[in-house]
Amino acid sequence: MLSRLLKEHQSKQTERKELQERRRKEAIAAATALTEALVDHLNVGVAQAYVNQRKLDHEVKTLQVQAGQFAKQTAQWISMVEGFNQALKEIGDVENWARSIEMDMRTIATALEYVHKGQLQAS
């Protein structure tokens, strides 16, 4: 009877060890699956961040090129406006010169008329 109890005890102990070993393996498998799922989830986020970063880098380069082009175009516009302003100043100078010449010519014409009338009256 004692030997039978001993065998039953050993048998139950072996079953418990096997059950414990099976549960340990299941726990390890579950922990591994959980870890893989977490890593996959994090990798998706990291991959998305990387894609977003690449898009931002591309947009920054595009914006830099466009800003350079805009700066060149703005410089051209400023140059054109300055040229236009200079031309307007020159036109204003010519206009003032023309007015001055016109006034001088009127003065001369008036003087000539006065002299001519004076000669006609003297004759």
Residues 38, 39, 40: CA angle, nearest 5 degrees: 90
Lowest-confidence pick of 12-16, 26-30, 35-39, 117-121:
117-121
pLDDT at 18: 93
Query: Which tokens hold the place of 10?
Result: 């050993």
Is residue 42 predicted with pLDDT exceeding 90?
no
Segment 68-97 shows an average pLDDT of 90
**CA 26, CA 1: separation in Å to the nearest integer?**
37
The answer for residues whose C-beta is within 8 angstroms of residue 57's C-beta and 6 or more apart is none
pLDDT at 97: 85
pTM of the predicted model as reported, rounded to 2 decimal places: 0.48
**CA 50, CA 44: separation in Å to the nearest integer?**
10
**CA 38, CA 47: separation in Å to the nearest integer?**
14
Query: Which tokens hold the place of 73?
Result: 């175009």
Is residue 122 predicted with pLDDT exceeding 70?
no
Name the E strands within the chain: none
pLDDT in tens, 83-102: 988 988 887 788 888 889 99
Is residue 121 predicted with pLDDT exceeding 80?
no
